[in-house]
A and B are shown apart, each in its own frame.
Chain A
């Protein structure tokens, strides 16, 4: 046992070292910056809460942060909902890997190219408007397709859906088909079998998929800006500006950590909701609850 623990530590060491040097240390550094002050493009060591307080009192910050959270939540919800039937189909119905590879192939093209593709599709001369014009549904091109929350949502779901699909597939592949058959045999409809057996057993994976797409989408500041115009302003953009343009690193750092805290808050809310709905539960509490049976 001791030797296998040693081997485990040895195998994990490179990755752990990498993460400590290039993620944990910079993060801690950034965290300490968030209490410093900035004056004329210089940052001065200090310990003030001004950066946090002024952020949460800034109407602009609150507005873009709310926007980022909404974008993240909508993208995550839509992505997870869309990935459920795909993952179910790929796990239990077909042995063909075609759809799986079609999903992966989207990663073979550049992220920016795909954003520009959506701009072309949704623009006034784009495919969507052209099709609607041809069909006679509209008489003049709709400008609102592009540079709208709709465009942001569509593009982000397109970009992040594969992540959700992969995570949901891996969660479902842990659930044997016999479990679904057993629940059918015991009187559950197909949808009931999904709700009562697949969902609870895949819950951790579903929450993981939701959180991953949420974090990626909420922190994305390139896509929303490029296809959303003014509706695509998010916290990420604001933070980037503090570092690149105004040079106020401490304020940027504080805002980054506010987003970090909000992401954790969302995670806690999601897990609490999952537990309240009976989707997940901790084993300890179950044992206590059922002891009087």
Chain B
């Protein structure tokens, strides 16, 4: 199936500032794709290019197979949910949702039918006559979703739609968003700087840094197989060790740092003797009171323990002086180390990812 959105060699500059560089991305019908990155990385600019509020400096953008470079926002088959909702304060809930249909000159009865149906989907049908000023943040969010989705867009663009909500409502709205996506079948492109939102919601995550796409993957793959230091650090927490790739006596590749030599499962080819980094997720680490006599075990001292109920977070310093973090499940009856204790930090071969030290990005 041809992609619903396809951007080829996209570049966007504001004066001398390169907001986006060499963007190549295609998004399939029905996907939920998040554009994830730190603030100022260009993710919102990319979304505004899809919507038609900005245009590419060079490159091409196709929506549903058609070049839309010269189409103004009102002529594109996309709709947007704005960060602060941008609901019309002079209209009530029903009229806000009906706006797009009325502008297109759709008959009164059909407008009423479609608006009602959409308000039912977002569970706002009981508040049709409310004015926007009389709604809570979560309710505004639902109206904003309905106002965009009622037009049957090929692509729904969502610009940090949950940023203005508090944590509890945000988590609830994430589930709601998934349900609404399933019910409407539209393609969702979702901009966020929140890695949790991205991982919970997306089929694929597009990680952007300083105007360039760093990695495009499913949340699982991006978390487990980051392709560079930025990916490894942006999604979740991780420990980074610096070292070089060496070959041991048996010809196997190993990662050598000041802490010692570590074995890993190579996922990408890195030349021997070249500088590399090793990323070890805190949850891959186990702590042992005695030396477990295994591979990838180094002595360390506990400097802090953060107890969060089901899990504890350990801050450690290795004997080589490296600060490490470990996340340990609090199984009942298990002896847990305390601050100041000497422990052995250990992780399995497949518990780490080794990346080139000087990544292309």
**Which residues from chain A sit less than 8 Å from chain B, CB to CB?**
176, 178-179, 181-189, 192, 196-197, 200-201, 283, 286-287, 290-291, 293
**Which residues from chain B sit less than 8 Å from chain A, CB to CB?**
51-53, 72-74, 78-80, 82-84, 86-90, 92, 94, 99-100, 103-104, 112, 128-129, 131, 147-148, 151
Known interface pairs A197-B88, A287-B129. Does A178 touch B82 (Cβ–Cβ under 8 Å)? yes
CB of A182, distance to nearest CB on chain B (Å) = 4
Given contacts A184-B52, A290-B92, A293-B128, 13 further A-B contacts (CB under 8 A): A176-B84, A176-B86, A178-B86, A181-B51, A182-B82, A183-B103, A184-B73, A186-B147, A188-B74, A189-B74, A196-B103, A283-B131, A290-B94
Instruction: Contact check, A192 vs B80: say whether CB atoms are below 8 A apart.
Output: no
Instruction: Contact check, A185 vs B94: say whether CB atoms are below 8 A apart.
Output: no
Across the interface, which residues of B come within 8 angstroms of A181, CB to CB?
A: 51, 53, 73, 80, 82, 86
Instruction: Contact check, B100 vs A187: say whether CB atoms are below 8 A apart.
Output: yes
Known interface pairs A178-B82, A287-B129, A293-B112. Does A187 touch B94 (Cβ–Cβ under 8 Å)? no
Interface centre among B74, B80, B128, B148 (most CB of A within 10 A): B74
Instruction: Contact check, B99 vs A183: say whether CB atoms are below 8 A apart.
Output: yes
Q: Give the total number of A-B pairs whose CB atoms are below 8 A apart.
A: 75
Instruction: Contact check, A185 vs B92: say whether CB atoms are below 8 A apart.
Output: no
Instruction: Contact check, A185 vs B73: say whether CB atoms are below 8 A apart.
Output: yes
Instruction: Contact check, A286 vs B86: say whether CB atoms are below 8 A apart.
Output: no
Say which residue of A176, A186, A200, A291 sits within 8 Å of B151 (CB atoms).
A186
Instruction: Contact check, B129 vs A187: say whether CB atoms are below 8 A apart.
Output: no
Instruction: Contact check, A182 vs B74: say whether CB atoms are below 8 A apart.
Output: no
A192 to B72 alpha-carbon distance, docked (Å): 13
Across the interface, which residues of A come within 8 angstroms of B86, CB to CB?
A: 176, 178-179, 181-182
A197 to B79 alpha-carbon distance, docked (Å): 17
CB of A196, distance to nearest CB on chain B (Å) = 8
Across the interface, which residues of A come within 8 angstroms of B128, CB to CB?
A: 290, 293
CB of B204, distance to nearest CB on chain A (Å) = 24
Instruction: Contact check, A188 vs B103: say whether CB atoms are below 8 A apart.
Output: yes
What 6 A-B pairs are tightest by C-beta distance, nearest first? A186-B100, A178-B86, A182-B86, A184-B73, A187-B103, A200-B90
Residue of B nearest to A180 (CB): B86
CB of B206, distance to nearest CB on chain A (Å) = 21
Across the interface, which residues of A come within 8 angstroms of B104, CB to CB?
A: 187
A156 to B73 alpha-carbon distance, docked (Å): 40
Across the interface, which residues of A come within 8 angstroms of B84, CB to CB?
A: 176, 178
Across the interface, which residues of B come within 8 angstroms of A201, CB to CB?
A: 88-90
Across the interface, which residues of B come within 8 angstroms of A183, CB to CB?
A: 88, 99, 103
Across the interface, which residues of B come within 8 angstroms of A184, CB to CB?
A: 52-53, 72-74
Known interface pairs A290-B94, A293-B94. Does A185 touch B88 (Cβ–Cβ under 8 Å)? no
CB of A284, distance to nearest CB on chain B (Å) = 11
Question: What are 23 inter-chain pairs, A to B, with CB distance below 8 A?
Answer: A178-B83, A179-B88, A181-B80, A181-B82, A182-B86, A182-B88, A183-B99, A184-B52, A184-B73, A185-B148, A186-B74, A186-B99, A186-B100, A186-B148, A187-B74, A187-B103, A192-B103, A196-B103, A201-B88, A283-B131, A286-B92, A290-B92, A293-B128
Residue of B nearest to A193 (CB): B74
Instruction: Contact check, A185 vs B90: say whether CB atoms are below 8 A apart.
Output: no
